[in-house]
Amino acid sequence: MEKLIATRDAFGEALLELGEEYKNLVVLTADLAGSTRVKKFSQKFPQRFFNMGIAEQNMIGVAAGLAQCGKIVVVTSFAIFASGRAWEQIRYSISHSHSNVKIVATHGGISVGEDGASHQGTEDISLMRTIPGMKVIIPADGVETKKVIRAVLKIKDPVYIRLGRPKVPVIFNEDYPFQIGKGYKIKQGKDVSIFACGIMLYEALKSEEKLRKEEISAEVINISTIKPLDKRIIINSVRSTGAVVTAEEHQVIGGLGSAVAETLGENYPVPLERIGIKDKFGESGKVEELLKKYKLTSDDIYKAAKKAVWRKNEKK
Amino acid sequence: MDKINFLKEKANLLRQDIIEMLSIAGSGHPGGSLSSADILACLYFDVLRHNPKNPKWEDRDRFVLSKGHACPLLYSVLARCGYFPLEELKTLRKINSRLQGHPDSQKTPGVEISTGSLGQGISAAEGMALAGKIDKKSYRVYVLIGDGEIEEGEVWESAMSAGYYKLNNLCAILDYNGLQIDGPIKKVMNPEPIKEKWSSFGWHTIEINGHSISQILNAFKEAEQTKDKPTIIIAHTIKGKGVSFMENVVEFHGKAPTKQEAKTALNELKEEKKEWKN
């Protein structure tokens, strides 16, 4: 049985270490210290932690002000509230003023589960990606999460980082070399490229095994940084495979699939299938039930990959 | 008395700049710029500890123009302080200018944070005040908000938390000129009782005539001496103050004076200066 760890838990641990290293690190939350795993930071560094109450818009503005005075600010909330409720504050007070703020949004995607549509942030990548200057990163597991948090504190740019609620399998080991803006090839293949982020990377890897049994060779690439997008790795991969599947726990409109489609449309158009939520709100249910119902499983990626390969061969 | 006259003269100069800039630009917001001129003259030429030669000086007092549309006033006062050449005021709202239609911290020296989307500046000012507390710095943070602006929910989120965190290094000034784009604020969305609202959110409140230099200076002094609470100075002002045909005229919220109107306005302002100089 593989090791399971929630990305939000990994974040909470990373933050505790980084609080020691960065004396100017300040953390804010909007009444979600427990759920977003910043409670331990608040206990260890009470002078550098502020609960802003259930008031996300002001929290983002306060973060901007702190950043303008030399602080590195980490703000936390759930993905939908962080990206949606405070969108315009992020646009203007954070990004336009180039404030050194890292928005760490937990409870991304439909895997929030039982809380249902109101709490399932499935539009956040799209919302954040469109803001000039915003970087958008979605780690796939606990190991990558820690590396992401460490990396974003080293740069002065605003960044949106999306984490998840449930425990998810650990994919990477410690020597995985995360770099902001770089994709990472996990499986080399020649028939189809699968670009995935977040929890869908694990599903993509499972689908690769299944495809291999049918002698379809899939290349699996982790695109954890959605913006800036690693165009080079995407185009290079597609040049050799000629078919693409994208997989994300997000609306198919505006997220990873859109970003890849934009890049390939301009540079190297090939048959493309997108796995994601198809313009629908989520609902209550167990995580596995929801992923199945909304077609976000390895089986769905497997089918999409076969379709992409078939379309490629049809064209020949 | 010398100081009062000095600041009156500065405010008059700022008003003249506003008229000239807006008339050249052909668009912009005269009403709410003119109403706050006395307040900003007092802040920049007396109250603020700042260094135009080193706009990023760590220990400087901060000023945030939350009602960003009044930036012609801010640009004028920054130029008059030496943050950038006076000549540049003519470029307001023009392509490639450092002086944008609303304040841009990435372009204009002395602008602490980009504003213009109402409600956001006060939150940022609160963050700056909070940073001062964390670092045990003695700088103070001033933020000018509009009376229409307080209809934004974010303002009250900020009011609540600044009160809760007892940010006595934060001082808001409410430019209570009574008019917003669609008409008198009391007809659009009456935000009264304003004083009671702020005091119930944990703020020290001071009500003044926002065109009386001595009242403005005294209010800033009182704010600085206030313990354990942020202060809001509710400054009763006249929109378009100083130009007879602009005073209390809703349309001049966001309409620039024509060349002829500008000429008349400048003459009035120059006359006014002569009057109180005698």
Domain residue extents for chain B: 2-277
Q: What is the pLDDT of residues B59-110, one digit of tens each?
A: 999 999 999 999 999 999 999 999 999 999 999 999 999 999 999 999 999 9
**pLDDT value at residue B275:** 73
8 A C-beta contact, residue A72 and residue A153: yes
Q: Closest Cα to residue A36, out of A126, A147, A149?
A: A149
Structural domains in chain A, sorted by start = 4-169 (3.40.50.970), 184-315 (3.40.50.920)
Closest-CA residue to B130 (of B159, B89, B166, B173) = B166
**Position B277 pLDDT exceeds 80:** no
Whether B148 has a pLDDT exceeding 80, the answer reads yes
User: What pLDDT, on a 0 to 100 scale, did the predictor assign at position A135?
Assistant: 98
pLDDT value of residue B173 = 98
Q: Any idea what DSSP says for residue A121?
A: B
Question: Which pLDDT tens digit goes with each residue over A165-181?
Answer: 999 999 999 999 999 99
In angstroms, the Cα distances linking B4 to A180, B43, B241 are 56, 13, 18
Tell whether the model's pLDDT for residue B4 goes beyond 80.
Answer: yes
A106: exposed, middle or buried (Cβ count in 10 Å: 0-12, 13-18, 19+): buried
Query: What is the rounded CA–CA span in Å between residue B171 and residue B180?
Result: 23
Q: With an 8 Å Cβ cutoff, are A92 and B117 in contact? A: yes
* CA-angle at A194, arms to A177 and A80, nearest 5°: 75
Given CB atoms, is B130 within the 8 Å cutoff of chain A? yes
Contacts of B68 in chain A (CB under 8 A): none
- In this prediction, what percent of chain B has a pLDDT beyond 90? 97
Q: Sorting pLDDT into bands at 50, 70 and 90, what band is B278? A: low
Sign of the Cα torsion B155, B156, B159, B162 reads negative
Length of chain B, please?
278
Residue of chain B whose alpha carbon sits nearest to that of A64? B124
Instruction: Give the model's pLDDT for residue A315.
Output: 81
> Across the A/B interface, how many CB contacts are shorter than 8 Å?
105
What tokens does B110 get?
């002395």
Q: Which of the following is catalytic: A56, A123, A203, A208?
A: A56
Interface test with A, best of B114, B160, B167 (most A CBs within 10 A): B114
Residue A108 has pLDDT above 60, yes or no: yes
CA angle at A223 for the pair A297 and A188, rounded to the nearest 5°: 80
Strand A72-78 relative to strand A25-29, pairing: parallel
Return the pLDDT at B1.
64
Q: According to the model, what pLDDT value does residue B33 have? A: 97
**Average model confidence (pLDDT) across chain A:** 97
- A269-311 pLDDT tens trace: 999 999 999 999 999 999 999 999 999 999 999 999 999 999 9
Cβ distance A89 to B122 less than 8 Å, yes or no, reads no
At A161, the amino acid letter reads: I
From the candidates A27, A28, A58, A97, which should be mutated to test the interface with B, based on the most B CB atoms within 10 A?
A58
Scanning B146-212, the segments in alpha helix (DSSP H) are 153-164, 185-189, 194-200
ipTM of the complex model: 0.96
Give the orientation angle of helix A298-315 with respect to helix A200-213, to 10 degrees.
60
CB-closest option in A50, A58, A99 to B157:
A58
Please name the member of A55, A60, A68 whose beta carbon is closest to the beta carbon of B161. A55
Phi, psi torsion values for B47, nearest 5 degrees: -80, -50
B155 Cα to chain A: minimum distance (Å): 8
Give the E-state strand segments of chain A in sequence order. Answer: 4-6, 25-29, 49-51, 72-78, 101-106, 135-137, 159-162, 167-169, 184-187, 192-196, 218-222, 225-227, 244-251, 272-277
With 90 as the cut, is the pLDDT of residue A247 above it?
yes
- A202 neighbors A169 (Cβ within 8 angstroms): yes
B247: CB partners within 8 A, 6+ apart? B238, B239, B240, B241
Asked if A58 and B106 come within 8 Å (Cβ–Cβ), the reply is no
Judge contact between A298 and A204, C-beta under 8 A.
Answer: yes
CA distance A65 to chain B (A): 4
Q: How far apart are CA B143 and CA B122, in angstroms?
A: 6
pLDDT of residue A2: 80
For B113, the closest of A50, A58, A64 (CB atoms) is: A64
Neighbours of B268 (CB within 10 A): 18
B55/A contact by beta carbon, under 8 A: no
**Superfamily covering domain B2-277:** Thiamin diphosphate (ThDP)-binding fold, Pyr/PP domains (3.40.50.970)
Q: Do A53 and B58 touch (CB under 8 A)?
A: no
Cβ distance of B129 and A48 shorter than 8 Å: no
Q: Which residues on chain A are in Cβ contact (under 8 Å) with B106?
A: 96-98
Question: Which residues from B are below 8 Å from A57, CB to CB?
Answer: 119, 123, 153-154, 157
What pLDDT shows up at residue B276?
66
Q: What pLDDT is stored for residue A62 in this prediction?
A: 98
pLDDT band at A264 (very low <50, low <70, confident <90, very high): very high
- The Cβ of residue A180 has, within 10 Å, a number of other Cβ atoms equal to 18
Q: Is A283 a catalytic residue?
A: no
Tokens of B235: 């400054």
Report the chain A residue with the minimal C-alpha distance to residue B56: A69
Residue B274 has pLDDT above 80, yes or no: no
